[in-house]
């Protein structure tokens, strides 16, 4: 749970930084993209992509610095390639922090799906790759659909 809270606070912190000129120095070949309500959203920086086997958690967080937006997710009970969340994961988290400072979350585990198709170790960090979708909701009931997500 602490890791989920840390992920959330990092996402909010990044979103609150605004649209400063950012030139990411991303030395690996990772990418992150998704359609948000049908519109392509591409990350300018992958803030986090890490599998922690000691806690069985997996988290990805990406930033689009041009828009000042973040998208990310955290999954428990990570066990390699497959579809997540698994039934025993009661609190999987997917978020979208929009440029108008509105934050969207999955209300239930059934509102998101992450398919891990592979992992690799980059600079000593285990990273995962795959696809994702989600239906997220803001506190006021506004919904966004994430489709064709790739990480």
Structure confidence at residue 20 as a pLDDT band (50, 70, 90): very low
* Alpha carbons 140 and 7: distance in angstroms, whole number: 22
Reported pTM? 0.80
Amino acid 30: pLDDT: 74
The domain ranges of the chain are 2-17+29-150
2-18: per-residue pLDDT in tens?
454 344 444 444 444 44
pLDDT at 28: 42
Count CB neighbours of 106 within 10 A. 22
């Amino acid at each position: 749970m602490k890791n989920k809270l840390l992920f959330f606070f990092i996402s909010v912190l990044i979103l609150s930084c605004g649209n400063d000129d950012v030139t990411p120095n991303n030395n690996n070949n990772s990418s992150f993209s998704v359609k948000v309500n049908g519109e392509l959203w591409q990350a300018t920086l992958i803030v986090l992509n890490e599998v922690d086997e000691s806690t069985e958690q997996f988290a990805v967080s990406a930033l689009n610095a041009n828009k000042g937006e973040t998208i990310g997710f955290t999954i428990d009970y990570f066990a390699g390639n497959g579809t997540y969340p698994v039934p025993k994961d009661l609190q999987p988290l997917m978020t979208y922090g929009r440029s108008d400072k509105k934050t969207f979350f999955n209300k239930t585990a059934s509102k998101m799906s992450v398919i891990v198709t592979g992992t690799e170790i980059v600079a000593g960090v285990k990273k995962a790759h795959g696809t994702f979708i989600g239906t997220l909701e803001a506190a006021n009931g506004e919904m966004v659909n994430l489709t064709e997500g790739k990480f």
